[in-house]
Amino acid sequence: MSQVQELERLVHEASGIVAFTGAGISTESGIPDFRSPGGIWTKYKPIDFGEFVASEEARRESWRRKIGSDRTMSRARPNRGHLALAELRRLGKLRAVITQNVDGLHQESGIPDEDVIELHGNATYAACLECQKRYELEPIVAAFRDREELPVCSRQNLAGETCGSRSARRCPSSPCDAPTRRLWLPISSWRSAAPSWSTRLPASLPWPSRRAPDWSS
């Protein structure tokens, strides 16, 4: 029995499955991965979250990279892998998708947003570091392109103070794919619909991916 046939048997016999995806599923859509030759980390040094929060220039550089990568991401469309998972979801076999990707292609393929658990957030919108208010990217990107103006949260509290005015340094807006859970990340909660993990994930997976089995137990 080939590996493909074995996979087909396992999927057929399972009452429900969860898919775990990473950069590889989106490369066919034209989105480069991070670690392969020519990948993102061969071109840029990662910006640490502490550096992002502490340095205005680091935040500007993060937005420069974000805008540059959006040119590629905006042209990407779901490929055969995304569509196959969407079909399994339509048939009632797929319970959820856990993904390291930030491109939103699983949702675009037809999988409901509430069934996609995004470990590293979603790069298709921004969110506040402090209060998690969501912002669409178009006005933020336009202001940054014109003046390299960094976004600051405008949500007001009961006293009429804006989130940004209370602590502009602690509340810079951020691209949602920055590597931390404290960002305005649309992190979906782990749902009871997902079955228990039966195997450990490879130790080489980046945090928080390798912690997923611990969280689900």
Residue 48 tokens, joined: 């640490």
Q: Is omega for the bond preceding 202 within 30 degrees of 0, making it cis?
A: no
143 in Cβ contact with 66 (< 8 Å): no
CB-side neighbour CA atoms (13 Å) of 72? 16
Catalytic-labelled residue, pool 12, 82, 106, 120: 120
DSSP alpha helix (H) spans, 24-113: 24-27, 40-43, 49-54, 56-73, 80-90, 105-108
Give the E-state strand segments of the chain in sequence order: 17-21, 94-99, 116-118, 126-128, 134-135, 173-175
106 is known as an active-site residue:
no
Active-site residue numbers? Answer: 120
